[in-house]
Amino acid sequence: MGSVGARTTLIVVSILLLFTATNLATAGNDTTATIWAVRASGKIRIDGRLDDEVWSHAPRLCDFVQREPDEVEPPTESTCVMVAYDDRAIYFGIELFDSEPQTIVRQLTRRDRWIRADDISVIIDSYHDHKTAYGFRVYASGTQRDTYYYNDGEADSDWDAVWDAATRITDRGWIAEIRIPYDCLRFPAKDEQTWGICFSRFICRKNELDRWPFIPESAGGFVSNFGHLKGIRGLRHVPNIELLPYTVAYAERGPASDSDPDGRSYSLDAGFDIKYRLTSNIMLDGTINPDFGQVEADETVLNLSKYETWFPEKRPFFLEGIKIFDTPFNLFYTRRIGHPPSLEPEGVDHYIDLPTETTILGAFKITGRTARGTSIGILEGVTQREEATYVDEDGKKRKGVVEPEANYLVVRFKRDVLENSSVGFVATAVNQAMFGPHYVSGLDWVVRMKNGDYKSEGQVVGSRSCEGEIDWGGLVTLEKEGGEHILGGIKAEYRGKNLDLNRLGFLDRNDYRALWLEIKYRTIDPWWIVRRSNQGIDVAY
């Protein structure tokens, strides 16, 4: 085992050194497309009219390029964007010309729903790290949708922000006016800001996608290809605290039963959530006795396999900023905190009262990014002891522990290196009564080269289980993500027999070894009756 580990380490180090040299060699001059913002001297009304004074002198950007269906061609309809800002928010005035305004596709639906209709998106890399961005989409009907982008293009539609938008149909097309408070964004504490930015327009009836700046389909990455937004100066961090208390009262009266002899039950509960912006790019979130009663229930799943079912996170506290904790191995599965009770008392004949979930007494979370390019994430949660009331085999009413009190901790650091790469560390700990402590840690990396066309990603993890067993796992991938025709990659993975991530993470199985090889050939230029095509072969061992 020692020689295998040494060889793996040598391979990883060699790959990193190779990619480092290539990145340094390919760094070039900055010729990035740029749009300039102007400071507003008066109030900007978000009404879809663009008649405020600032829009009369703001620079207009109109040089969009088609991405689909005819890549690189001029758009069939023009789009012009203006940007303004003040001490509280950034504003976008967008005029979307259309030669047939009566055919603009508008659908009114719930917020955050994907619909097929005319829209405009503003995507902002306010960190300017070329990896993460905040997306704000407005449909012609005025419906809003927001998305968080991470890892240079992966999207998280569960992210939500509070921002304003208004649209209006005109005889020349339609207008979108957008206000995005700085509370929605995280950015470095600098007097003069430079942000990455991308605008994307979809014309539904033509199936046409226009963008600024132009990002070819063959490009590797997404956020790393954004243009620049400049001209924003003098932003100051304003301490901002949000406090959301709640109280829930419950009363029920019905027929008497074994569990409720008088037929009456009462409850009173209270708690609060708190959000405090420590700096312009670091946020503290806290919750005491949280109430997730408004969260949509999980879908019913019939699982006949021996593997655990993975459920998505829907609780608001565990959604915001949570992508900082993502790594190739899933070391932090938020559903572990507050999970259903896992123990059963001895001698149970039947239950009178059985808790369906573990109560979270409190939790806090710090997420953000330092000025030197280090992303941080710290989350700690405490759950209470849960007891069930049951009747034992002798017919006696008893209480028994079904879930001991527990403390959960996860710490994450990720540092930007080179031009568009990163290395990271993560550690988790679970301390729970009736069980021994459980620890997991890992090192991970992402290295990109040649404008993001090539990528190496991997992680090495180790675990110490409650029973004291120690083991490790690792994976490494080499991929070609960009380019016109040839794509593909290779991935190797190893999981030790005693690797245990499931106290706070998610691992479907251990004692596992695998090797994947994938080769693809694609065409993105139209030929004959084919607009684009993909062919590939996958080999797994």
Per-residue pLDDT tens digits for 220-235: 889 999 999 999 999 8
Strand 38-39 and strand 438-449: pairing? unpaired
Q: Is the pLDDT of residue 6 over 50?
A: no
Share of the chain above pLDDT 90, in %: 58
Of 440, 476, 492, 416, residue with least CA distance to 330: 440
Q: What letter represents residue 529's amino acid?
A: I
Q: Say if strands 192-203 and 208-212 run parallel, antiparallel, or are unpaired.
A: antiparallel
Higher pLDDT, 301 or 411: 411
Mean pLDDT, rounded, for 237-243: 79
Task: Residue 179: count other Cβ atoms within 10 Å of its Cβ.
Answer: 20
pLDDT at 23: 42
pTM over 0.85: no
- C-alpha span between 138 and 535 (Å, rounded): 35
Task: List the domain boundaries for the chain.
Answer: 33-233, 241-256+264-279+281-540
> Could you report the per-residue pLDDT of 389-426, keeping only the tens digit for each?
888 888 888 889 999 999 999 999 999 888 788 999 99
Distances (CA, A) of 401 to 238, 434, 504: 47, 10, 21
From 85-89, 160-164, 343-347, the region with the lowest mean pLDDT: 343-347
Q: Is the pLDDT of residue 168 over 80?
A: yes
When pLDDT is averaged across residues 416-437 and rounded to a whole number, the result is 91
* End-to-end alpha carbon distance in the chain: 20
Q: In this predicted structure, which of 130-139, 331-340, 383-392, 445-454 has the lowest mean pLDDT?
A: 445-454
Residue 449 binned pLDDT confidence (cut-offs 50, 70, 90): confident
pLDDT on residue 100: 96
pLDDT at 540 (0 to 100): 87
The residue that leads in pLDDT, 419 or 366, is 366
Round to whole Å and give the CA distance between 341 and 306: 19
- Mean pLDDT, residues 272-280 taken together: 89
Identify the burial level of 201 via C-beta atoms within 10 angstroms of its C-beta, where 0-12 means exposed, 13-18 middle and 19 or more buried: buried
| pLDDT tens-digit series, residues 469-527 | 999 999 999 999 888 889 899 999 999 999 999 999 999 999 999 999 999 998 877 77
Q: How confident is the model over 10-38, as pLDDT tens digits?
A: 344 444 444 444 443 333 445 689 999 99
What integer is the mean pLDDT of 241-254?
83
Rounded mean pLDDT, 322-345? 93
**Mean pLDDT, range 374-387, rounded to an integer:** 95
Per residue in 180-218, pLDDT tens? 999 899 898 889 999 999 999 999 999 999 999 999 988
pLDDT of 172:
96
What's the CATH class of domain 33-233?
mainly beta
- Give the pLDDT of residue 278: 87
Residue 292 has a pLDDT of: 82
pLDDT at 30: 53
